[in-house]
Amino acid sequence: MSVPGRAHDGGMSWVEEALPLPAARPVDGDEPLEAAIHALAALAAGIAAVQLMLAVVLGEPIAAAFFIAALLATGACAFVGEGSARRRVAFVAGGSATVLVWLAVLPQAPAHSIVVVLGMAGVSAAVTRHLLTEGSDRRPGVRPTASIAGWTDDDVEGELAT
C-alpha cells in the first residue's frame, strides 16, 4: 500500500508519523514494582475468574466464595489508581490474594508447571513485600527525594527556609 505524496520506503514510517509515541522518560522510585504488582494481580485476577467459573459449574460453593474474594482483591490491586487513598490497602489485599490464587491452583498444575506456579507465587510475594516495606518508612504526603543533589528542589513545605 502506498501513501499518496510519499515515496515507498519499504517500511511503515508513515504510521509512526501519524501515531507519535510518547517520549521516553526516566523511571522513578517504585514504578517498576508497581507495574509488576499490577501485571501480576491482573494475571491472578484472570486465573481467579476462570477458577470461579469452574467452581460454579462444578457446584463448589466454598471454592466459588474463595475465588470471588480473590477476584475482587486482585482486581482492586490491578486497577487501583495512582491518586487513590486506598492504594496501600489494595496492594496488601491484592498482593496477598495473588499469592493465594497461585497456591490454590498448585494442586491442579501438571508436574512440569509446578516450578512455574511456585515461582509466580514467590515473585508475587516478594514484589508485594518489597513495595509495602519501602513505602512504610515514608511520611504521608511527603515525596521521596529524587537524588541527593536535588534535595533542595523537593523542599515544597519550606523546611529548609528556617
Position 101 scores a pLDDT of: 93
The answer to whether 120 and 104 have CB atoms below 8 angstroms apart is no
pLDDT digits (tens, 9 = 90+) for 12-60: 666 667 666 666 666 666 777 788 888 888 899 999 999 999 999 999 9
Position 142 scores a pLDDT of: 45
Alpha-carbon span 120 to 82, nearest angstrom: 24
Query: Does the pLDDT value for residue 69 go beyond 50?
Result: yes
Position 62 scores a pLDDT of: 95
Mean pLDDT of the chain: 76
Report the Cα 138 to chain-centroid distance in Å. 21
In three-state secondary structure terms, 130 is: helix
Report the Cα 51 to chain-centroid distance in Å. 21
pLDDT digits (tens, 9 = 90+) for 115-154: 999 999 999 999 888 877 865 554 444 444 444 444 444 5
pLDDT digits (tens, 9 = 90+) for 96-118: 999 999 999 999 889 889 999 99
